């Protein structure tokens, strides 16, 4: 009979492992539920924030692609240019005050070394113009564009950079 009593003692011990099995099952379900909620929140955050990144990246790329524009620096060329013309047997004069617009002070200072060559180019350009063409606004603008191209060509040749952005006429007198 001792053998019969022995099998009876294991069933109460069997109830304890059954309780541990239920506890393990509850822990596994809770952990699985927490993982599912975490994955859901993480996936939602990933997909919602992913839509903003291309805009931010495009904005950042646009900022890096377009360099920040430096403020304009103006260098007045003094004294004013005075050239003479022989127009229909009469002596005519043109006085032009010129300012150079640049964005880089160091490059503009490097160009100042070559100021005699620059002034010579502008005097030769101004004196080669037709007096009647200079009386029209279109003629004045064409001359300004030619002066800009001439100065930019000299700057590129002497300093290796496109130093001057524009040549501006601050005073233009024809007589």
- Residue 61 scores a pLDDT above 80: no
**pLDDT (average), residues 6-32:** 70
- Identify whether residues 170 and 90 lie together within a single domain: yes
C-alpha–C-alpha distance, residues 114 and 137, integer Å: 30
Partners of 74 in beta bridges = 101
Max avg pLDDT among 19-33, 45-59, 66-80, 109-123: 109-123
What's the pLDDT score for residue 124?
92
Angle between helices 105-112 and 115-127 (to 10 degrees): 80
C-alpha–C-alpha distance, residues 87 and 5, integer Å: 139
More confident residue, 20 or 90: 90
- Residue 120 scores a pLDDT above 90: yes
Range of the domain at 34: 2-65
What's the pLDDT score for residue 167?
93
Contact of 144 with 108, CB cutoff 8 Å: no
- Identify whether residues 93 and 53 lie together within a single domain: no
> Of 65, 85, 109, which residue sits at a domain end?
65
Going by pLDDT thresholds of 50, 70 and 90, the confidence category of residue 33 is: confident
**pLDDT (average), residues 142-160:** 91
- Identify whether residues 133 and 164 lie together within a single domain: yes
Contact of 164 with 100, CB cutoff 8 Å: yes
CA distances from 106 to 73, 111, 155 (A): 11, 9, 13
Going by pLDDT thresholds of 50, 70 and 90, the confidence category of residue 95 is: very high
- Identify whether residues 14 and 33 lie together within a single domain: yes
Look at the chain and report how many structural domains it folds into: 2
Helix (H) or strand (E) holding 82, with range, is strand 73-87
Start-to-end Cα distance in the chain: 141
With pLDDT > 70 as the criterion, what percentage of the chain qualifies?
Answer: 79
> Of 48, 65, 82, which residue sits at a domain end?
65
What's the pLDDT score for residue 170?
92
What's the pLDDT score for residue 11?
53
Q: What is the pTM of this model?
A: 0.59
Phi–psi pair at 55, nearest 5 degrees = -65, -45
Classify burial at 118, counting beta carbons within 10 Å of its beta carbon; exposed 0-12, middle 13-18, buried 19 or more: buried
CA distances from 40 to 22, 35, 45, 48 (A): 27, 8, 9, 12
């Amino acid at each position: 009979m001792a053998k019969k009593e022995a099998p009876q003692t294991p069933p109460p011990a069997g109830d304890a492992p059954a309780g541990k099995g239920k506890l393990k099952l509850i822990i596994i379900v809770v952990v699985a539920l927490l993982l599912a909620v975490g994955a859901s929140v993480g996936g939602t955050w990933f997909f919602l924030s992913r839509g903003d990144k291309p805009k931010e990246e495009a904005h950042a790329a646009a900022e890096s692609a377009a360099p920040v524009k430096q403020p304009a620096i103006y260098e007045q060329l003094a004294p004013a240019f005075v050239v003479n013309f022989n127009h229909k047997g009469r002596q005519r004069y043109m006085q032009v005050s010129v300012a150079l617009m640049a964005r880089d002070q160091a490059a503009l200072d490097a160009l100042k070394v070559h100021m005699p060559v620059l002034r010579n180019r502008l005097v030769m350009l101004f004196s080669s113009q037709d007096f009647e063409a200079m009386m029209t606004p279109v003629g004045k603008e064409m001359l300004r564009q030619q002066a800009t191209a001439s100065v930019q060509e000299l700057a590129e040749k002497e300093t290796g950079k496109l130093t001057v952005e524009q040549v501006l006429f601050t005073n233009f007198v024809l007589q």
